[in-house]
Chain A
Amino acid sequence: MSAAKWRKAMNPGALAAQGAGAPILARLDRRFAGAAASPATVARESSPTLDSAALLRHGLLLAALIVFPFVATPFITFQIGGQCLTLGLIALSLTFLAGYGGMISLAQMTVAGIAGYTVAILGVSGTAEISLNWPSWLVVPCALLIATVCATLIGWLSVRTEGIYTIMITLAIGVAFYYLVLQNYSVFNGFQGLQKVYPPEVFGINWRDPLPFYFLALTCAAAGYAWVRYLVRTPFGIALQGIRDNPRRMHALGFNVVAHRVAAYAAAGFIAAVGGVLFVWYNALITPGSVGTSWLINLLIIAVLGGLRHPVGPFLGALVFVLLQTFAIDLIDRERFNLVIGGVFLAIVLFSPDGLLGLWAKLRARMTTRAAGVGRSTISTQRP
């Protein structure tokens, strides 16, 4: 069934009752509590067509991002810009899974780590006894393939149980992988990890220099963003959101719920894999610490911070996170970084479950209401 037919088939009249822009977390939780959400809201929410105004905004942002490295220092370009785009891409996989699929998976960093380790093991690294020195045109696709397959397996394991379990099970899987790479020296080089994992020199450019890396990350991030936005408007994406809101109804309609979910894991896994390859090139190393519990939770923080409702959220969250991480020591006691980031995360989940984007939405709503004066039904910030 095409997306248009789907939308037509559903009753748009129920839209007003539900509230088009209900917070994602609230919708997920309503689903767990058994309440039904009209798929029409799903359809409406996920398909803002790319009209000329939207194109203009996207174009302006893209232009700003392209011009950015030429006005910023190489340090800012690389450490802030490059890291933000890379982390944002990995977090985008989590946003896709959680926001559009209703499954919060803490194993996305694990998938990224698997891709990173594969690049290090199959390609060139400082540990000559382990690395196989395959050519990079072979290594990168292999890494993406292996990581995506692993993501599918993780998904298959996780979708067999209900929503809350997903967090626990993916956390356990992530920690299991951490201990595997920590204890194994023959393949993963244990505690030391693999160092000197550099991107290949293609077209004579050193891709780890600030400018080339930034543009590489920007291209991948933009591609990921575009792909997610496209994917959620395809029949698959819409079915996925329907499954997020009411799996029983979808199952009754004849959709294979498990298959859709596992496919979502695979798609998210691919995004995380690309991010993982970029991340290992950014750090030029990969160690068990890169896939440990703190990074698993950090990724969740980044995704929730920015907001799970839109693919730009993770990049926003990554920006805040990286800025805090880099400059916190100049402002506050760096020792208390975890307290600050945990506190910010807590505040966001308590007061604005849709992250910074949700906060912005509320502010805008309040400003618009005040401006309009008369009771205008703005974007609902309802709590069930």
Chain B
Amino acid sequence: MSKRASVAGWVLLALLLVALSVWGIADNARLFLVTVLNGLTLASLYFIVASGFTLVFGLMRNVNLAHGSLYLLGGYIGYVVAEATGWWVLALAAGFLGAAVVGLLLQVVILRHMQGQELRQTLVTIGIAIVIADILLWIFTGEVHQMEAPSWLKGPLRGIPIINAYSQYRMSLLVLGVVIGVALWLFLNRTRVGMMIRAGVDDRAMLAAAGVNVNLVFAVTFAIGAGLAGLGGVIGAVELSMVPGEDTRLLLASLIVVIVGGMGSVVGAAIGAAILGLAETFGLAYAPTYSVVFTFVILVVVLAFRPRGILGRA
């Protein structure tokens, strides 16, 4: 697509969105603003989960379709820990660590031996996803598990103009998402390990030739990616509850975020998550019947015009 045409396309899109926003505010300002907040907070959750996915793909070119199961696993572990100790922060840590350990095992025991065979790795992760999901179903049954927000995050934030009240917990999600995003960015761009990861994304062979223990870097990255999924699981257990089926939903959300935002880019994941979160919540608020289809339409449109995603790299 020519430069001029693509710029024109973006401008048109922006104008459309502005027009819709103005109509939304005029129609029901409270609903519009609450929906924006809802979308951004949901986007935070999606970002946390999808960042792990894109990290793993960006470095190891491994489409880890067991990412959703790791989300569910982290959530259940967090639930058990929260029930046992009553500490939400402990549950967060447990969810992160539990999923990270499982991810590490997965990488070291199985996936490492197939390095280079991306298709086979993907199929293996599908198999593992099915197995993990069924084991979790066996242990926890199909009942819905709801975790409680910590008492210092429960209840509404009052006194906000126009909106009046908004969930404290959801607001904290926004904060958490930003914190994790910044931490991830710092990790990737300001630490040695991050530098190795970025180098590996660009040229794996050169990284190995430079004397770096590539296997270790891969293992650490995979563990972090899996841990992020588990962390997302604990967060989601409070806001969305844990039930079989959430794993597929979050996996698909991660896929969309990463395809739209671009594989291997954390900033891309943030952008993709924002687009998905906002699209989903606006869809649910204004046109609930086809809200989910709408999000996939966005995916298709992005694919049609920018197959690599918005910030994607090869």
Contact = CB atoms under 8 A, between A and B. Distances in A.
Chain B associates with chain A: yes
Interface of A: 25-26, 28-29, 32-33, 104, 157, 160-161, 163-165, 167-169, 171-173, 175-176, 179-180, 183-184, 293, 297, 300, 304, 335-336, 338-339, 341-343, 345-346, 349-350, 353, 383-384
Of B129, B133, B134, B259, the most chain A CB neighbours within 10 A belong to B134
Interface string B121-151: 0111011111101110110000000000000
Contacts of B135: 339
Contacts of A157: 300, 303-304
B110 interface: yes
5 contacts: A167-B65, A167-B122, A168-B259, A172-B299, A384-B116
B195 interface: no
A169 B296 CA distance: 10
Contacts of B290: 180, 183-184
Main secondary structure of the interface of B (DSSP, over half): helix
Contact of B300 (A176, A338, A345, A346): A176
Given A161-B308, A173-B296, A349-B127, A336 B134 contact: yes
Given A160-B307, A163-B119, A338-B134, 9 more contacts: A29-B120, A172-B252, A172-B296, A176-B293, A176-B297, A183-B290, A304-B123, A338-B133, A383-B117
Interface residues of B, number: 40
A29 B118 contact: yes
Q: Which 9 A-B pairs have the closest CB atoms?
A: A342-B130, A346-B127, A176-B296, A29-B117, A339-B134, A160-B307, A179-B292, A338-B134, A342-B131
A353 B118 CA distance: 13
A259 B118 CA distance: 25
Given A26-B117, A29-B117, A176-B297, A341 B130 contact: yes
A339 B124 contact: no
B147 to A, nearest CB: 25
B255 interface: yes
Given A29-B119, A164-B63, A350 B124 contact: yes
Given A157-B303, A336-B138, A171 B255 contact: yes
B252 A350 contact: no
A300 B126 contact: yes
A161 B122 contact: no
A249 B117 CA distance: 21
B63 A167 contact: yes
A41 B247 CA distance: 41
Given A28-B119, A157-B304, A171 B124 contact: no
B256 interface: yes
B170 interface: no
B57 to A, nearest CB: 8
Given A164-B61, A339-B135, A384-B116, A346 B303 contact: no
A184 B122 CA distance: 32
A165 B309 CA distance: 11
Given A164-B122, A183-B289, A304-B123, A345 B138 contact: no
A346 B307 contact: no
A297 B259 contact: no
A346 B259 contact: no
B248 interface: yes
Contact of B123 (A32, A160, A349): A349
Nearest to B117: A29
Interface in B220-273: 248, 252, 255-256, 259
A336 B293 CA distance: 32
Contact of B118 (A32, A293, A338, A339): A32
Contacts of B123: 25, 300, 304, 345, 349, 353
Contact of A104 (B119, B299, B303, B308): B119
B293 A183 contact: yes
Contacts of B116: 29, 33, 384
